[in-house]
Amino acid sequence: MEQANVYVAETGKSVAGFASDFKAVVQKYGFIVNNADTMNMAQTFSAHGAEVADDFDLHMIQLCKPAKAAPSLSANPERAILMPKFVMVFSKGGVTQIRYMSYAEADILTVVDDDVFPGSLTETFAKIRSMIDEAI
């Protein structure tokens, strides 16, 4: 896997502020935040009895575009392995950091034997990167 597949950005917004703004942006383009109630990992870990440091601030934002995912998975359920898309937002060194991992078409083909899916998925990856930029 190439380093270029890891998208790195930062923002002056708080983690929660970016997450809220990002949610509004993705909704404009037909995406949903699939885990809005559990993306704040400090709360999620605490709810399950795990202790986290007071300054632990990580949101794992899971995206889905139902109008695209439903027909895609109906055509080939093998595609599901690459369908979860997470944008990670966290505090590090007093700065809100954003990370997003995508895959090159060649990598996708090694996981899913499907001629159509790699092109479609890489378009989605690019859209997610542009939505991150818009929310920053």
27-75 per-position pLDDT tens digit: 999 999 999 999 999 999 999 999 999 999 999 999 999 999 999 999 9
pLDDT at 2 over 70: no
pLDDT 10s digits, 84-96: 899 999 999 999 9
For a pLDDT cut of 70, what percent of the chain falls above it? 97
Write down the pTM of the prediction: 0.91
Closest CA to 129 of 45, 34, 72, 63: 63
pLDDT 10s digits, 63-80: 999 999 999 999 999 999
Give the pLDDT score at 20.
Answer: 96
Burial grade of 119 (CB within 10 A; 0-12, 13-18, 19 or more): exposed
Give the pLDDT score at 84.
Answer: 86
Helix runs in the chain, H state only: 15-28, 41-47, 66-75, 105-111, 117-135
Domain ranges of the chain: 3-135
Give the pLDDT score at 1.
Answer: 45
- Domain spanning 3-135 has what CATH number? 3.30.310.70
Give the pLDDT score at 113.
Answer: 87
